[in-house]
A and B are shown apart, each in its own frame.
Chain A
Amino acid sequence: NAGVTQTPKFQVLKTGQSMTLQCAQDMNHEYMSWYRQDPGMGLRLIHYSVGAGITDQGEVPNGYNVSRSTTEDFPLRLLSAAPSQTSVYFCASSLAGTARYGYTFGSGTRLTVV
């Protein structure tokens, strides 16, 4: 099993550019989430989904869009990149509710906005 696959692993963007971070899982997990990791801070939730067609905002959603058209894929779109979005982004999935199941994380995407 591939688990949770994130692409790309590294990306440099110019301010104002848009891009999509890809996330795919092959474990038939219902729940998927995007987190960002910044120095000195814990992982912060950007957006999450509890199933295909259902998404909701997390703690830091501004500047990001998501959609969940299939169970497998949960892309994160940066609409107009800003230097404050320089971060490491992690996609994670769980079989069902996180009151019972832990997350499986992808390997991360390191994004630099210049």
Chain B
Amino acid sequence: ILNVEQSPQSLHVQEGDSTNFTCSFPSSNFYALHWYRWETAKSPEALFVMTLNGDEKKKGRISATLNTKEGYSYLYIKGSQPEDSATYLCALVQGAQKLVFGQGTRLTINP
């Protein structure tokens, strides 16, 4: 089972600031990478599915980039709002239906 690393584990950001965090993975045997947002007391919600090196995806103030050759993905949040407080998960598609999840980055937005 390959290892998916997310950093930092937790992050506190002032409202209005922009932030980013990282998902690192072994670059070989890459199929796809998922990002999820997981709010407290809810279930994870899919943000992006990324497959191509150099892929960039955007959803409102949240965007993600992918570098499969060096084995990392960045998630960016522009102008953080309190509703962005959540744990952000990345997951690597290892094959067929096998997703390997990182432990997540817990983001707290301070008003």
List the interface of chain A (C-beta within 8 A of B).
Answer: 31, 33, 35, 40-45, 48-50, 56, 58-59, 90, 94, 97-108
Contacts and interface: CB of A to CB of B under 8 A. Distances in A.
Nearest to B46: A102
Contacts of A41: 103
Contacts of A94: 97
Contacts of A90: 43-44
A107 B97 contact: no
A58 B49 contact: no
Main SS at interface, chain A = loop
8 A-B pairs closest in CB distance: A102-B46, A42-B101, A105-B43, A43-B101, A99-B32, A48-B97, A42-B103, A99-B31
Size band of the B side of the interface? Answer: 20 to 34
A58 B51 contact: no
Interface in B88-111: 89, 91, 93, 96-104
B97 A31 contact: yes
Given A42-B4, A42-B89, A42-B104, A102 B98 contact: no
A18 B107 CA distance: 38
Contacts of B48: 102
B96 A97 contact: yes
B32 A100 contact: yes
Contact of B89 (A33, A43, A49, A98): A43
B1 A59 contact: yes
Contacts of A50: 96-97
Contacts of A102: 34, 36, 46-49
A45 B43 contact: no
